[in-house]
C-alpha cells in the first residue's frame, strides 16, 4: 500500500533574497520523507508535502532553523465538522486533565476528548447535530478553566514586518553612529587631497607605521565589523555549513577582506617601523554596513506596503458578536457578548450601526445598508432587508439588524477569501523560475568575477601603471610604492564588485508584483489563485462562456402569461391561483418560477390544495386543485364586490389541471391549433420556454418563461472581441435557445447540446490549435472544463465545486470582471518584466563599472558607492511593484467608450 502524503504550512522569517529561498528548497528536498517544497519569499511561507511516517513538521522546522532561519508551523484550521481543538489555560497537573476529560465524555454528544497538559490543547470529537462549540467551552469554563478555540495562525503578524523593520532600523542607527565619523574622515581626506601643499595633520604617525587617521578608522570600524555585522556572519556560517551561498556571504567577504587586509598591512608597517602609515580599507566596512542596513530597512518598509490588501482583509474580522435569544415577533428576550469563535450555525445575532458582521448570515429583522467594498469590490452600500445575505467583515452602515448565522469560522466568505489570497501569494509565477534558476549561479559567478577583477588589475598595473594611476587619489601616491598602489587598487575594485552585485532585485521582481497584483485583484472583487493564473490570463485569446448562470442569471422567470380561454369563465386571478397551486408540488426550476410569479401577482404566500399529483420529467404534470376560493379571498388586490359574493356563495370546486409541453398536452387528450404552435415557436426562437396549461379539459393558456441575460453580458463580449479575443458560447442547452441567447449578446460561435465531458473535449480542441483558453462557468457540471482550461474563471455565486476548480473567482458576479482580470494580468506581468529589466540592467552595468572597466573614461567607484547602489536596486524593485497599487479597474463609462 502506498504511503499517505500530507502537507504542512510553515512561517519563515530571516529570508532576505531569492538565494535564501533556493537554499531552503534545495536542502529540504534532500531530506528523506519530504516530497516537495515551495518557499515564497514575500509571504514568508513554505508549503511542504511530506510522508508523516518518515518525518514530522516539527523536524522540518528544526531543519530550517539549522539553515539559519526561524520557522514555525502554521496550525491549519481544517474545519472538519465534529472535530475541535481548544486551548485550555488554568491546568496545573494530571488531575486537571482527568477532571476535564471525564466531565466532557459525560456530556451527551461528545464522542471522545483528549487533553494534553504540556501543550494545553484539547482534541475533541463531538456530534454537531446535538451540541456546538460554545456548549463545549461552557462545560470546561464551568469547571474553573479558561478555554478558547485554537485558531489557525494568521499571517498578519508576519505581514506587518515589525520585527524585521525594528531589527534593521536598529542596525542602521548603530552603523550610522560609527559611520558618520568615518564619512567625515573620508571627506577630510578628499578635501586635503585637493590641497597637496597643505600637510595632513591626521596623517602624522603616533608610532612608526600607525597614523592618527588609521587609528581612528580602526577604532570606528572594529565595532561595526564584529557587532554590526554579527547577523551577516551567522547567516554566512550556517550557509557554508550546508554548502550554499547567499547574498550575506558577498557582504561578509567584502567587509572581511577589507578589514583583514587593512589590519595585516598596518601590523606589518608597525613591525617594520615604517616612516609612513599605509593606506588602509578601514573606511569600507562602516559605510558598507550603513548602506546595506539602510537598504534592508527601507526594503522591509516597502515590502509591508505590498501586503496591504491582505492585511486589510485580515483586519476585517470582528472579534466579538452579540448573541440574542428571540421571542415572538423577533422580540429580543436576552443578549450577551461572546467571542466570534463561539458563534454557532443558526445563532441569532444583533448588529448595531457601524459594527462589522461577525459571520455570514441572513437578515431576519430590520433594514439597513452594508459596506462590502473591501470584500466584493462593490463601492456602493448594499441594501439589506429580511431575507438578504450578509458577509462577515462587511460593515453595517445604518439601522440595527438581526441576523441568523449561516456560515461560521473558516466557512465564512471572508475566511475563504483570505485563504485564497494567502495561497495565491505563496505560489510562484512561472516567470519567477528564471530568477530562481539564476540565483544558483549568481553568487559563485560574482565571486569569480571579483577574483578575476583583482587578477586583471594586478596584471594591468604592472604592465601599464599610467592607466591605473587615473583612479588613484593624489595623496595616496606620495609615499607609497608602485606595487602597493597596484595591490590597493586591485583590492578596491574586487571588493566593489562584491558590494555592488545584487541577486535580491532579481529575486524580488516577480513575488512583489504577484503579491500586489493579487491583493489589488482581491480589493476589486477578483480572486486570483496564484502567480500562474495571474501570468497566464494575459495570454488568453479564446474566452468560452457557459450559458445558464453565467451569461444569464440562471433563475427562470415568468415574463408573460397568454390566456386562451374566455376570461369571463375563468378570470386571470383564478387561472393563476389554479396553476400556482398545481406547480407548488413540483420541484422543477420552471415550476418554482411559475409558483413565484403566481404568488407575486396574487399578493399572497398561501395557495390552494393539490391532490392526485403526477409528473413525468421533461414532459409535464397532472393533478387536481381545490380550495382556490380561499386563495382569492386572501389576495391583496381584492376582487370586485360581485366576484367576492360569487366566490363566497360558490361551492368549492375541483379543477383537473394539465401543464407541460406540446407532447404532454397531446398525450392527455387535448389539441392545439397552428396559431398556438406559431406563438410558441416565436418565443422559443428568442430563447424562451413556452409551457401550455389546460383546466378541466380545455386548453387555457401559455406561460412564457425565460432565463434573462445579464445586463453587462453584451458589453463584456463586445470589449473582449475588440481586444482580439474570440468569444464562444458553450452550453448543454438546445441549439435554438443557445443561438437566441448568443444573438442577444453578440457571440457568433455557439456550441450547444454538449455534455460536461464534451465541453472538456471542445476546450482541448482549442488548445491543440495553439489557443490559450479561459473558461467562464458557475455550475458543478462546469468544474471539469474549468480545470482543463488554461485559466478557469468561476462566478462567485456559483457552486463550491466550480469555485474550487477555477483559477479566478469573480466575487461580484459581474462579467465585466472577466475583462478586468485579463487587464490586471497584463499590468502585473508588464510590471514584472520592468522589474526584471532594471534588475538585469543594474547588474549588467553595475558590475563592469565596479570592476573598473570604465576607468579610462574617468568613472570609478568606491566600495561604499557599490553598497549604496546595491541597496537602492532592491528598494527600487519593490517600489516599482507598489505602482500596481494605483491600478483602477476599468469603469463602465470607459468600457462603453472602448466598445
SS (H, E, C) 435-478: HHHHHHHHHHHHHHHHHHHHHHHHHHHHHCHHHHHCCCCCHHHC
Q: Is the pLDDT of residue 55 over 80?
A: yes
CA distances from 129 to 9, 84, 122 (A): 31, 14, 20
With a CB cutoff of 8 Å and minimum separation 6, the contacts of 345 are 132, 405, 406, 407, 408
Q: Per-residue pLDDT tens for 809-824?
A: 888 788 888 999 999 9
- Reported as a pLDDT band with limits 50, 70 and 90, residue 644 is very low
Closest by CA to 74, choosing from 61, 55, 63, 89, is: 61
Q: Mean of the pLDDT values across residues 40-50?
A: 81
> What percentage of the chain exceeds 90 in pLDDT?
8
Tell me the C-alpha to C-alpha distance, in Å, between residue 627 and each of 156, 321, 587, 599: 61, 46, 21, 15
Highest mean predicted confidence (pLDDT) among 7-16, 339-348, 533-542: 533-542
Using CA of residue 299, residue 305, residue 311, residue 315, what is the dihedral sign? positive
Q: Is the pLDDT of residue 151 over 70?
A: no
Q: Which of 283, 341, 347, 546 is catalytic?
A: 546
The lowest-confidence range among 280-289, 431-440, 687-696, 848-857 is 431-440
> Which residue bears the cell 532561519?
69
Residue 56 pLDDT more than 60?
yes
Quick check: 316 pLDDT over 80? Answer: no
CA distance 64 to 730: 49
Specify which residues 805 forms β-bridges with.
none
Look-up of cell digits 439589506: 384
Strand partners, 334: 325
Beta-bridge partner residues of 184: none
Under the banding of pLDDT at 50, 70 and 90, the label for residue 639 is very low
Residue 161 dihedral angles phi and psi, to the nearest 5°: 50, 30
Rounded average pLDDT over 405-432? 72
What are φ and ψ of residue 859, in 5° steps?
Answer: -100, 115
Mean pLDDT over each residue of the chain, to the nearest integer? 80
Average pLDDT over residues 403-430: 73
Query: CB atoms < 10 A from the CB of 877, how many?
Result: 29
Active-site annotation holds for 546: yes
Helix axes 413-426, 308-315, angle to 10 degrees: 160
Measured in degrees and rounded to the nearest 5, phi and psi for residue 774 equal -110, 130
30: confidence class by pLDDT, cuts 50, 70, 90: confident
Q: For 187-195, which contacts have Cβ atoms below 8 Å and span 24 or more sequence positions? A: 189/213, 189/473, 189/475, 190/473, 192/475, 193/473, 193/474, 193/475, 194/474
On the 0-12 / 13-18 / 19+ scale of CB atoms within 10 A, 773 is buried
Dihedral angle of Cα 30, 31, 32, 34, to the nearest 10 degrees: -90
Q: 135-149, 275-289, 507-521, 710-724: which has the highest mean pLDDT?
A: 710-724
pLDDT above 70 covers what percent of the chain?
Answer: 85
The 8-class DSSP code of residue 242 comes to T
Q: Give the model's confidence band at 439: pLDDT under 50 very low, under 70 low, under 90 confident, else very high.
A: low
Mean pLDDT of the 655-678 span: 89
Most trustworthy range by pLDDT among 361-370, 490-499, 803-812? 361-370
Nearest residue to 294 via CA among 176, 417, 385: 176
> Radius of gyration (Cα) for the chain, nearest Å?
37
Q: What is the pLDDT of residue 646?
A: 44
pTM (2 d.p.): 0.67
> pLDDT for 463-501, tens place per residue?
877 777 666 654 444 556 778 778 878 888 888 888 787
Amino acid at each position: 500500500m502506498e504511503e499517505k502524503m500530507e502537507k504542512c504550512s510553515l512561517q519563515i522569517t530571516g529570508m532576505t533574497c531569492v538565494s535564501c529561498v533556493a537554499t531552503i528548497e534545495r536542502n529540504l528536498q534532500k531530506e528523506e520523507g519530504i516530497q516537495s517544497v515551495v518557499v515564497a519569499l514575500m509571504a514568508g511561507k513554505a508549503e511542504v508535502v511530506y510522508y508523516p511516517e518518515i518525518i514530522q513538521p516539527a523536524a522540518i522546522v528544526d531543519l530550517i532553523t539549522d539553515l539559519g532561519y526561524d520557522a514555525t508551523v502554521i496550525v491549519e484550521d481544517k474545519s472538519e465538522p465534529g472535530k475541535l481543538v481548544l486551548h485550555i489555560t488554568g491546568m496545573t497537573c494530571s488531575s486537571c486533565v482527568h477532571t476535564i476529560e471525564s466531565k466532557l465524555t459525560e456530556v451527551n454528544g461528545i464522542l471522545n476528548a483528549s487533553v494534553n497538559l504540556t501543550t494545553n490543547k484539547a482534541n475533541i470529537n463531538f456530534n454537531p447535530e446535538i451540541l456546538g462549540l460554545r456548549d463545549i467551552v461552557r462545560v470546561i469554563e464551568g469547571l474553573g478553566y479558561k478555554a478558547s478555540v485554537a485558531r489557525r495562525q494568521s499571517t498578519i503578524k508576519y505581514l506587518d514586518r515589525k520585527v524585521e523593520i525594528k531589527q534593521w532600523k536598529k542596525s542602521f542607527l548603530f552603523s550610522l553612529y560609527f559611520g558618520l565619523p568615518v564619512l567625515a574622515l573620508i571627506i577630510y581626506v578628499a578635501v586635503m587631497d585637493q590641497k597637496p601643499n597643505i600637510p595632513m595633520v591626521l596623517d602624522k604617525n603616533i608610532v612608526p607605521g600607525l597614523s592618527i587617521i588609521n587609528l581612528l578608522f580602526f577604532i570606528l570600524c572594529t565595532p561595526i565589523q564584529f557587532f554590526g555585522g554579527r547577523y551577516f556572519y551567522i547567516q554566512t556560517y550556517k550557509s557554508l555549513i550546508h554548502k550554499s551561498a547567499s547574498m550575506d556571504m558577498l557582504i561578509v567577504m567584502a567587509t572581511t577582506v577589507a578589514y583583514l587586509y587593512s589590519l595585516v598591512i598596518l601590523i606589518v608597517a608597525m613591525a617594520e617601523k615604517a616612516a609612513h602609515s599605509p593606506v588602509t580599507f578601514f573606511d569600507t566596512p562602516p559605510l558598507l554596513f550603513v548602506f546595506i542596513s539602510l537598504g534592508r530597512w527601507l526594503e522591509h518598509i516597502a515590502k509591508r506596503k505590498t501586503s496591504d490588501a491582505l492585511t486589510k482583509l485580515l483586519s476585517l474580522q470582528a472579534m466579538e458578536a452579540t448573541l440574542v435569544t428571540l421571542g415572538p415577533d423577533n422580540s429580543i428576550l436576552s443578549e450577551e457578548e461572546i467571542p466570534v469563535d463561539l458563534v454557532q450555525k443558526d445563532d441569532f445575532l444583533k448588529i448595531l450601526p457601524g459594527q462589522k458582521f461577525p459571520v455570514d448570515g441572513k437578515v431576519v429583522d430590520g433594514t439597513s445598508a452594508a459596506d462590502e467594498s473591501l470584500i466584493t469590490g462593490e463601492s456602493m452600500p448594499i441594501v439589506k432587508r429580511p431575507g438578504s445575505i450578509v458577509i462577515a467583515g462587511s460593515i453595517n452602515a445604518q439601522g440595527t439588524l438581526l441576523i441568523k448565522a449561516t456560515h461560521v469560522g473558516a466557512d465564512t466568505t471572508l475566511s475563504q477569501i483570505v485563504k485564497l489570497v494567502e495561497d495565491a501569494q505563496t505560489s510562484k509565477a512561472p516567470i519567477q523560475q528564471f530568477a530562481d534558476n539564476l540565483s544558483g549561479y549568481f553568487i559563485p559567478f560574482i565571486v569569480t568575477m571579483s577574483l578575476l577583477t583583482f587578477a586583471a588589475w594586478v596584471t594591468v598595473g604592472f604592465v601599464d601603471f599610467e592607466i591605473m594611476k587615473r583612479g588613484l587619489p593624489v595623496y595616496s601616491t606620495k609615499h607609497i610604492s608602485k606595487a602597493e598602489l597596484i595591490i590597493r587598487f586591485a583590492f578596491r575594485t574586487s571588493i566593489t564588485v562584491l558590494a555592488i552585485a545584487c541577486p535580491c532585485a532579481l529575486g524580488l521582481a516577480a513575488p512583489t508584483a504577484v503579491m500586489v497584483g493579487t491583493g489589488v485583484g482581491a480589493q476589486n472583487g477578483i480572486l486570483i489563485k496564484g502567480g500562474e493564473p495571474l501570468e497566464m490570463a494575459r495570454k488568453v485569446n479564446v474566452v468560452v462562456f457557459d450559458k445558464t448562470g453565467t451569461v444569464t442569471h440562471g433563475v427562470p422567470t415568468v415574463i408573460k402569461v397568454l390566456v386562451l380561454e374566455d376570461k369571463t369563465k375563468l378570470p386571470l386571478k383564478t387561472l393563476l391561483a389554479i396553476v400556482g397551486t398545481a406547480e407548488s408540488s413540483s420541484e422543477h426550476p420552471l415550476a418554482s418560477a411559475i409558483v413565484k410569479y403566481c404568488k407575486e401577482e396574487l399578493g399572497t404566500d398561501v395557495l390552494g390544495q393539490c391532490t392526485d399529483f403526477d409528473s413525468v420529467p421533461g414532459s409535464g404534470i397532472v393533478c387536481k386543485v381545490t380550495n382556490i376560493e380561499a386563495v382569492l379571498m386572501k389576495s391583496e388586490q381584492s376582487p370586485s364586490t360581485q366576484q367576492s359574493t360569487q366566490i363566497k356563495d360558490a361551492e368549492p370546486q375541483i379543477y383537473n389541471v394539465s401543464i407541460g409541453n406540446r407532447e404532454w398536452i397531446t398525450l392527455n387528450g387535448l389539441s392545439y391549433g397552428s396559431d398556438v404552435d406559431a406563438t410558441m415557436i416565436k418565443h422559443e426562437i428568442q430563447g424562451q420556454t413556452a409551457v401550455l396549461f389546460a383546466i378541466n379539459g380545455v386548453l387555457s393558456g401559455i406561460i412564457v418563461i425565460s432565463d434573462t441575460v445579464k445586463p453587462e453580458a453584451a458589453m463584456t463580449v463586445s470589449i473582449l472581441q475588440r481586444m482580439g479575443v474570440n468569444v464562444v458560447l458553450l452550453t448543454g442547452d438546445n441549439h435554438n435557445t443557445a443561438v437566441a441567447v448568443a444573438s442577444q449578446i453578440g457571440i457568433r460561435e455557439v456550441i450547444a447540446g454538449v455534455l460536461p465531458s464534451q465541453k472538456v473535449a471542445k476546450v482541448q480542441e482549442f488548445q491543440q490549435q495553439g489557443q490559450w483558453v479561459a473558461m467562464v462557468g458557475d455550475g458543478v457540471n462546469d468544474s471539469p472544463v474549468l480545470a482543463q482550461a488554461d485559466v478557469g474563471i468561476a462566478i462567485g455565486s456559483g457552486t463550491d465545486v466550480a469555485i474550487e476548480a477555477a483559477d479566478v473567482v469573480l466575487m461580484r458576479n459581474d462579467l465585466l470582471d472577466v475583462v478586468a482580470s485579463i487587464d490586471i494580468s497584463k499590468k502585473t506581468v508588464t510590471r514584472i518584466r520592468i522589474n526584471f529589466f532594471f534588475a538585469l540592467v543594474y547588474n549588467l552595468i553595475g558590475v563592469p563599472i565596479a570592476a573598473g572597466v570604465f576607468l579610462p573614461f574617468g568613472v570609478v567607484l568606491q566600495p561604499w558607492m557599490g553598497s549604496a547602489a546595491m541597496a537602492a536596486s532592491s528598494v527600487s524593485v519593490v517600489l516599482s511593484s507598489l505602482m500596481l497599487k494605483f491600478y483602477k479597474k476599468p469603469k463602465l463609462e470607459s468600457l462603453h467608450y472602448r466598445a
